[in-house]
Amino acid sequence: MASLPLAGSERQLPLGARDAGPAAPGEHVEISVILRRANDLGPRLAQLARGDRSEPHLTREAFAARYGATTADADAVTAFARSHGFQVIERDLGRRTLRLAGQASQVGQAFGVDLRRVETPTGVFRGRVGPILLPEELAGVVQAVLGLDNRPQARTHHRLFRPDAARAIAPVSYTPLQVAALYGFPAGDGAGETIAIVELGGGYTPTDLATYFAALGVSPAPNVSAVSVDGAQNAPTGSADGPDGEVMLDIEVAGAVAPGAAIAVYFAPNTDAGFVDAVTTAAHDTTRKPSVISISWGGAESEWTSQAMTALDETIAAAGAMGVTVCVASGDSGSSDGVTDGADHVDFPASSPHALACGGTSLRAAGGAISSETVWNDGAQGGAGGGGVSAHFTVPAWQTGLAATSSAGVGQSLAMRGVPDVAGDADPETGYQVRVDGEDTVIGGTSAVAPLWSGLIARINAHLGKLVGFANASLYAGPAAFNDIVSGNNGDFEATAGWDACTGLGSPKGAALQTALGQ
């Protein structure tokens, strides 16, 4: 039987990794197989990209019936899987996902891969090199096979404030409510909405949340629940430096500014399969029905396979078609996104053209109003708002005609997707007062901006009585709803009047934004 390589599935071992031999033949392996759609979603996405909101958003049930996978395709993959001894542990046509479980030896035979044990300075994972192979009859049916390689796919985008007596300007910190007030958030609490938060590790402690919200005077406290994806659980590690800091920051910021909204935290393994499965689960959740998804994890585009990027981008696009806004942190390592090859990189999934990419500023206030706001760039501290130009996604319609200005003052018209779209306070030196693992602390990073915008969107949805959904075209058409950031850089890109590759359109003028999105 002829086998063909699955487009975009090629993997390489990361720099500094050591091949420590084959994976144990009996090692338990769980993978996610993503199937093609029954119908082309492209025309609907093109409408949204033009800002045409004349058609109502599809319900999750209607979306699954029209754009999910077909029974015939799922049956074909199921038969293939069982012929190789796999167990089908989940089959969801709406999410276009089959979850399979088997042993490493079965996986190698079925997909033509040699699974290896890979050692890196940060840990050990199961890896592979080269493409995944599929039988000819499944070519075009299967769009991605994720989870064969279980290396950590993403990192958090939160940064703890570190005291430093050498700082030229004294640090300040705010509660999320104070930040919302400075940005003129409209009245309301997001009642009736659900904010989904994607987490790839760590956890939260209900007693910490109760203490935190009580201290803010937020009563009743938001309803927070944990959702397990691919077996992951709410599992606090006891360290604000680790993923607990991310989880608590996300919940506390979103919950403070939209306390009437329910908060559903989707915990998944930190792999490409876990990340995609977490977002598909949230987007297609017919029980909790989130209207906003907040994502504060990501990695440089160069660290992803093309198949995984396509699968996650298509999931974010599907969410938009169902009226769900997906807010994603743009990264905390400036124009390099932490890659050390000397080139510019942007963070994914912030670079998805169907996401609302959230960049970072440094926010100062006096007398209850903004006194200055610049690009977040700590310089010697090493943190800066992520932003730049995608190497993977072409320029979307709503960014046509824009240019990214380099730190040398040279503007280059966008031919590819520009990042970010919007911004908000992210500087740890002007950070957020939060509580993590029994300790009060201050945290910044663009991780704070994604839940801040998610809370704002939840408020707007509740006020309007309808879902904003994928609204990038409307946002780019309404620059008066933003505080334009015109000072600072994130490394290789400079802030300029209008959109720039440091802070996007700028930080929100909340009430004006609500008016613009209500039209």
Residues annotated as catalytic (active site), given as ranges: 246, 250, 447
Phi/psi zone of residue 69: left (φ > 0), alpha (ψ -120 to 50 degrees), beta? beta
Beta-strand pair 262-267/194-199: parallel
Cα(107)–Cα(100) distance, integer angstroms? 10
Three-point CA angle 190, 67, 301, nearest 5°: 75
What are the percentages of helix, strand and coil residues in the chain, rounded to 5? 30, 30, 40
Is-cis flag, bond preceding 420, omega within 30? Answer: yes
Q: Do 186 and 258 meet the contact criterion of CB atoms below 8 Å apart?
A: no
Distances (CA, A) of 296 to 76, 163, 373, 431, 473: 36, 24, 22, 16, 22
CA angle 132, 137, 143 (to 5 degrees): 45
* Closest-CA residue to 332 (of 502, 152, 101, 106): 502
Distance of alpha carbon 134 from alpha carbon 6, whole angstroms:
6
End-to-end CA distance of the chain: 57
Helix (H, G, I), strand (E, B) or coil at 377: strand
Q: Tokens in use for 125?
A: 């994972």
Q: Fill in the DSSP letter of residue 447.
A: G
Q: CA 343, 450, 226 angle in degrees (round to 5)?
A: 120
The answer to whether the beta carbons of residues 324 and 293 sit under 8 Å apart is yes
Give the E-state strand segments of 153-238 in sequence order.
Answer: 155-156, 159-160, 172-174, 194-199, 224-228
Integer Cα distance of 469 and 186 in angstroms:
18
Q: What three-state secondary structure class fits 469?
A: coil
User: What token pair was written down for 285?
Assistant: 């959740």
Gap between the Cα atoms of 344 and 241, Å rounded: 26
Q: Are 473 and 387 in contact (CB under 8 A)?
A: no
Alpha helical stretches, state H, 390-438: none
